Amino acid sequence: MSPALIALLPFIGALLPGLLVRSGRSVAAMACGTVTLVALLGLLLHIPAVMRGEVITARIEWLPMIQLNANFRIDGLSLLFGTLILGIGLLIITYARFYLSRTDPVGKFYTYLMLFQGAMMGIVLSDNILLLLVFWELTSLSSFLLIGYWRHLPEGRQGARMALTVTGMGGMAMIAGMMILGQIAGSYDISDILRSKETIQASEWYLPALILILLGAFTKSAQFPFHFWLPHAMAAPTPVSAYLHSATMVKAGLFLMARLWPVLGGTPEWFWIVATTGLVTMLIGAVIALFKDDLKAVLAFSTVSHLGLITMLLGFGTREAAIAAVFHIINHATFKAALFMTAGIVDHEAGTRSIQRLGGLRKLMPVTFAIVTVAALSMAGIPPLNGFLSKEMMLYEASHLETARLFFMTVATVAALFSVGYSLRFVFHVFTGPERDDYPHQPHDPGFGMWAGPALLTVLVVLIGLFPNTMAGWLVDASASAVTGESEHAHLALWHGLNAALIMSLIAIAGGIILLRRHEPALKSWESAPRPEAKVIFDTIVRASVLAGRWITDKFNNGSMPRALSFFTLTSLFAGALAWYTGDAGPATRPMLPVGPIPFIGWLLAMFATGSMVFFHRVRLLALVLIAIVGLITSIFFTYFSAPDLALTQISVEVVTVILLLLALNFLPKRTLIETTTPRRGWDACIATLAGLGFGGLCYAILRRDFAFDSISGYMLENSYKLGGGDNVVNVILVDFRGYDTFGEITVLGIAALAIFALTQTLLQGKSSARLKNWVHDQRRAGDRHPMMLVIVTRVILPISLVVGLFIFLRGHNQPGGGFIAGLVVAIALLMQYMASGYAWAQDRQNIPFHALIGAGVVAAGVTGIGAWFNGKPFLTSAYGYVKLPFLEEFELATAMGFDLGVFLCVVGAVMLALNSLSRIARQAGETVNEKPMDIDLSEEQKGAH
């Protein structure tokens, strides 16, 4: 099975619970379990190839221009983590079926779970760091949904926010680090990066990239000082805790460190940062776990401690330590998932997770007691269980360090001592002792569905401990080889002789037993001792950040748009000036073009109109006329510089805009009130002048210089006919080369028109409707509302305009024109009917559903683009050919015409829908009072005169 399909299957499975949940929770669970099982079998089929040292890859081009490709790989490390994710995921799916109550929305739970499973599989199978980052952030989002699944619990919501905040911030840092790493290696593919060790470690950017990437890994794997989020995530349902914090989310950081170990490891920086962080985390997590009362809190901090253990081993940078790290990843997943699920069983059946309210459960819950005993002893590192083997390997590596050996040996032994203490406490304080008569619920073992999963995992705990090479040696070899880049053959055994590691282990066991016996006085000392609370610190930082953000917002953005635009403009000016004076634009290389009298006069008119608009902008009608003059002069400039397409577009847009604004101005005050002081207007004028001069100067500098890069215009001119079948380069760019942009633009245009229509609908209801009905014009109206000459002319030119629009549409691929201009011409002809004969007359005579017209335009453009797929071409690629019909000359037909038709329909629909909105406002405002149908009847006119 392809690695890409294995990564995709969980996402497909996420669609099933919502569809099947009405058939019952068992059906939803079975569907998710089936998909997970298929993905697991597909992964396991690659075991023979992986054992031969092969790397199975799947490469799919996604965004090759930025090197973001959907590349996947399966090697030993992917096989290890993928097996844990899917294998334990299958057990969690079954466990959750029986754990969750009937009031819990099971469909939503399984959807979130499968999304998270897919994100984790994407991380471990990715062969592109940009793709890995996508999945990395998806794990943060999906884990947020899972941790906050019980949204009615405040602690659940806070735990979800805390996890998202911490891991999300680490993810942002990691994105920067990954970008630097890819730039150093010259590729974003992990396969290429793993072959660039010397280049990466020799780069001056190695240390920044290392720190940023480790921030992402440490936050995700709850390493000090980011460890505090994981215990608060225990507010999630136990299946979530068992899955996220034993085999998946918290191990994502470990996976990343292991994946990049060949290129980032082996340096002093790596050793001191990673190994020291892991050691401190291991000790702090173990100490805190010993004094927690909540079962899941004990397991949470123990998870933090064991994650620190694995991080420390990876930080040592030796091949033997890497082998021990991957072996402990396997062991930790087995006993910790079993313990989380049994903690959930105790909570589910006894009604509490508080150790103080438990005890004496050994006879009441014998099956659960047996599972907990085996798993907890393995967590403590008691032989002959699997936890003992990897703990011994860790102590052995600590005792053979060349740097700071005594320090690491001492702290590791103390951490192992506390680990024994909290593991034995989990067994003895919960299950031994006398039975109580004040349990919240009467404890008893659950049904087979709940204890089968943890029981299977404890069987693996025993088997791996007794037969390590047979049960796990092959997987350790494959995964360790992928980490180190060398062929590894681990020697896993219960007995390695009498050595320092064994002595350290015996000290830890003996000390742990003493700690258990002296737990009560130790707990009193712990509670009375002053110590920082991570949650309090986090809440303080968040509160301070919010207050600081509000202060900055209030100071710099008080809701005033002019103020915000002033800051934006000044910042842009500062950035531009800094770039100009620190850069090297070089001297001007192009001569000035001669300026004739006509362009100079046009420039003077444009400047005069612009300046006049600034002075008279409060008179809205005059400002509108001046804007139209500027637009007209701009279109003349386009014509002067041989851009007829742009000139036609500019003129058409100006006419449509002016007409619509004139019609809208009918319902608005004719003058704008003065709302600012004279000094403020002077300040704004200075900023505007600086911005205009700056932008003008930039344009001048660019036009006077030649640059090393070639303009894309040459490619467009050369390939317009060859690839698009059109001589009109502008039109070919719009409907072919940049057709996707145009498709998005017409979609946005249609959405804007629909938004105007919806806003108008709101305006015509409630209090605003009453105000419109009682609205009185602020100026006297002309006596002749609809001059007869204007009425006759507009009706005569309507069919002519439609023919002109059709002509412009048909010629657009080879001559100036096209769907956009044709749509504007037709819209202008229809707009003039409204202006000449009034809203009521025009509205009564059109029954075109402009909503449907916009939709038809988008569909037409989309279908045209999809048609290219059937030709094996990218979306919106044009095809063209020549047709000869009888009695006609040979002419060209291009699929771009279908796209242009979509543009035409969208433009006409959007303009007319906006006009329709104004028409409805006019009718509501009583515009029809003096409206008179303009169907000319001389006899009626004569009767009126008499």
Burial of 796 (0-12, 13-18, 19+ CB in 10 A): exposed
- Say what the pLDDT of residue 580 is: 84
**Secondary structure of residue 224 in the 3-state scheme:** coil
> How many Cβ atoms are within 10 Å of 181's Cβ, its own excluded?
27
Name the residue range of residue 342's domain: 265-529
DSSP string of 580-613, one letter each residue: HHHS------SPPPP--HHHHHHHHHHHHHHHHH
Is 434 in the same domain as 469? yes
Question: What is the distance between the alpha carbons of residues 505 and 496, in angstroms, rounded to a whole number?
Answer: 13
- Say what the pLDDT of residue 926 is: 59
Per-chain mean pLDDT for the chain: 86
- Say what the pLDDT of residue 780 is: 64
Nearest residue to 903 via CA among 672, 714, 744, 733: 744
Residue 625 lies in a domain: yes
Of the listed ranges 105-119, 177-191, 466-480, 522-536, the least confidently predicted one is: 522-536
Is 757 in the same domain as 826? yes
Residue 22 lies in a domain: no
Residues 115-129 have a mean pLDDT of 93
Whether residue 766 is predicted with pLDDT greater than 70 in this model: the reply is no
Q: What is the band of 269 on the pLDDT scale with cuts at 50, 70, 90?
A: very high
> pLDDT higher for 639 or 886?
639
- Say what the pLDDT of residue 579 is: 86
Question: What is the distance between the alpha carbons of residues 180 and 125, in angstroms, rounded to a whole number?
Answer: 21
pLDDT tens, position by position, 564-575? 888 889 999 999
**Residue whose entry in the numeric block shows the structure tokens 């799947």:** 58
Is 312 in the same domain as 440? yes
Residues 350-366 have a mean pLDDT of 88
Is 421 in the same domain as 456? yes
pLDDT tens, position by position, 678-712? 888 888 889 999 999 998 888 888 888 887 677 78
Q: How many percent of the chain have pLDDT more than 70?
A: 95
> pLDDT higher for 702 or 175?
175
> pLDDT higher for 433 or 256?
256
Is 443 in the same domain as 558? no
303 within 8 A of 250, measured Cβ to Cβ: yes
Q: Which of 630, 649, 674 is the last residue of a domain?
A: 674
Q: How far is CA 842 from CA 471, 826, 828, 830, 832, in A?
A: 84, 15, 13, 9, 10
Is 346 in the same domain as 293? yes
Question: What is the distance between the alpha carbons of residues 535 and 531, in angstroms, rounded to a whole number?
Answer: 12
Token pair belonging to 918: 């104004």
Residues 624-650 have a mean pLDDT of 88
Alpha helices by DSSP H, listed for 260-294, are 261-264, 268-270, 276-290
Nearest residue to 652 via CA among 506, 809, 796: 809
Token pair belonging to 470: 């047979």
Q: What is the band of 174 on the pLDDT scale with cuts at 50, 70, 90?
A: very high
- Say what the pLDDT of residue 776 is: 64
Residue 61 lies in a domain: no
Whether residue 519 is predicted with pLDDT greater than 80 in this model: the reply is yes
Domain tally, the chain: 4
Question: What is the distance between the alpha carbons of residues 69 and 60, in angstroms, rounded to a whole number?
Answer: 6
Residue 222 lies in a domain: no
Q: How far is CA 414 from CA 210, 407, 417, in A?
A: 29, 11, 5
- Say what the pLDDT of residue 925 is: 64
581, 582, 584, 590: CA torsion to nearest 10: -20
Q: What is the band of 774 on the pLDDT scale with cuts at 50, 70, 90?
A: low
Q: What is the band of 779 on the pLDDT scale with cuts at 50, 70, 90?
A: low
Q: Which of 521, 543, 577 is the last residue of a domain?
A: 577
Whether residue 90 is predicted with pLDDT greater than 90 in this model: the reply is yes
Residue 879 sits at φ, ψ, to 5 deg, of -125, 150
Whether residue 282 is predicted with pLDDT greater than 70 in this model: the reply is yes
Residues 261-287 have a mean pLDDT of 93
| DSSP code, position 69 | E
Whether residue 46 is predicted with pLDDT greater than 90 in this model: the reply is yes
Residue 658 lies in a domain: yes
Nearest residue to 899 via CA among 721, 719, 741, 713: 741
- Say what the pLDDT of residue 219 is: 93
225 within 8 A of 309, measured Cβ to Cβ: no
- Say what the pLDDT of residue 928 is: 43
483 within 8 A of 261, measured Cβ to Cβ: yes
DSSP string of 323-371, one letter each residue: HHHHHHHHHHHHHHHHHHHHHHHHHHHHS--BGGG----TTTSHHHHHH
Residues 880-901 have a mean pLDDT of 79
Q: Which of 508, 542, 577 is the last residue of a domain?
A: 577
Residue 484 lies in a domain: yes
Is 885 in the same domain as 793? yes
Token pair belonging to 406: 């005594």
720 within 8 A of 726, measured Cβ to Cβ: yes
Whether residue 520 is predicted with pLDDT greater than 80 in this model: the reply is yes
Is 522 in the same domain as 545? no
Residue 103 lies in a domain: no
Residues 374-380 have a mean pLDDT of 93
Burial of 441 (0-12, 13-18, 19+ CB in 10 A): exposed
Is 326 in the same domain as 447? yes
Mention every residue, 6+ apart, whose C-beta is less than 8 A from residue 693.
Answer: none
Is 546 in the same domain as 646? no
- Say what the pLDDT of residue 487 is: 84
| DSSP code, position 128 | B
290 within 8 A of 519, measured Cβ to Cβ: yes
Residue 721 lies in a domain: no
Question: What is the distance between the alpha carbons of residues 840 and 786, in angstroms, rounded to a whole number?
Answer: 12
- Say what the pLDDT of residue 945 is: 40
Alpha helices by DSSP H, listed for 100-128, are 106-125
Q: How far is CA 146 from CA 105, 114, 161, 232, in A?
A: 12, 10, 11, 13
> How many Cβ atoms are within 10 Å of 437's Cβ, its own excluded?
7
- Say what the pLDDT of residue 723 is: 80
Token pair belonging to 940: 């009626």
Whether residue 733 is predicted with pLDDT greater than 50 in this model: the reply is yes
100 within 8 A of 24, measured Cβ to Cβ: no
- Say what the pLDDT of residue 934 is: 42
Is 795 in the same domain as 914? yes
791: left (phi over 0), alpha (psi -120 to 50) or beta: alpha
Three-state SS string over 881-940 comes to EEECCCCCCCEEEECHHHHHHHHHHHHHHHHHHHHHHHHHHHHHCCCCCCCCCCCCCHHH
787 within 8 A of 870, measured Cβ to Cβ: no
CA atoms within 13 A on the CB side of 318: 15
Whether residue 342 is predicted with pLDDT greater than 90 in this model: the reply is yes
Say whether the peptide bond before residue 384 is cis (omega within 30 degrees of 0): yes
Q: How many percent of the chain have pLDDT more than 90?
A: 33
Whether residue 772 is predicted with pLDDT greater than 70 in this model: the reply is no
Q: What is the band of 946 on the pLDDT scale with cuts at 50, 70, 90?
A: very low
Residues 626-631 have a mean pLDDT of 89
Is 304 in the same domain as 434? yes
Q: What is the band of 784 on the pLDDT scale with cuts at 50, 70, 90?
A: low
